Amino acid sequence: MRIAEQILFQLARSLYWTEVAHSSEMKQALQHIDAYDVYRAAEINRILEAVGRYHIAIADRTIVDFGCNDGAISAEYLRRGAARVIGVDIDEHAIQRAQELHHEERLTFVQSTVSTIPLEDQSVDAVISYDVFEHVSQPTTILKELYRILTPTGQALIGTWSWWHPFAPHLWAVMPVPWAHVFFSEQTMLRVCRRVYHSPWYIPNMHDYDSDGKRLADKYTHQTISTDYLNKCLIQDFERAFLASGFVCETHPVPFGSRYARWIRVCLRMPWIREFMAGYVWFVLSKSTGQTAS
């Protein structure tokens, strides 16, 4: 067995029972649908807190929930006073679920493509996107679409992660080792993920079972993480994409953890260090005066 793989596996095993990667809330959410619903409600509150903190107006506005999934957050914007909410997602099945779950008159759902959003020019007051842009395969292309549909005074609030975030690969259940993808090859990391998944001490979560209740056998079988799933952008890559699309960008990194939050906040001012130390990033985008995205 490769030495790097053995080292990473031992690290994963030793950290598996800790809360380095998995808070107690995350562990519960992974294992029980009721706990997952509570966890998602907490996520919605975090989004709404950011909306208030960065002064994104919702009341009496037309809002796009970009990457709406099943529409739970879209419906919440409507309850918070939006005049109209449009949920947008590239996933056809997600749009179908959203339409089945929500029947409010001022709430609609439309399917996008990797390069187009089927909405009129300057028809939207605000775009809010949470935990989506790390998955967008062509950020600059879709950002030009967001620029196009926003009114001249419109804003976009985008919450996402840097690829050097300690847990950016989204391997919550099986890889509790921070920055594993930075210090080990993706091949090694995914081999270890598969080994953890099949270890007797691994506790399966609700995403490990198919619709018939049988445990999935083919997880973590790839050699690399597809860029169609995660675009692997750093904070600086997102900033370049925003500027290339015509937006003025404000960057607001949020430190992870709490014990060392004070000195981490200082580190977030340093361009390269912030890539590693930001637990999350909020970008506030607005149209630059007299400029259009081409």
For the residues of 140-170, what is the DSSP string, one character each?
A: HHHHHHHHHHEEEEEEEEEEE--TTSTTTT-
Rounded CA-CA distance 174/159 in Å is 24
pLDDT at 265: 58
Rounded CA-CA distance 114/8 in Å is 35
pLDDT at 294: 42
Q: Which residues of the chain, if any, have pLDDT below 50?
A: 258, 260-261, 290-294
> Which domains does the chain possess?
3-31+169-208 (no CATH), 41-164+230-287 (3.40.50.150)
pLDDT at 290: 43
Q: pLDDT, tens digit, for every residue of 134-154?
A: 999 999 999 999 999 999 999
pLDDT at 293: 46
pLDDT at 257: 61
Q: Which residues contact 41 (CB under 8 A, 6 or more apart)?
A: none
pLDDT at 268: 62
Residues in the chain: 294
pLDDT at 60: 97
Cα 135 from chain centre: 7
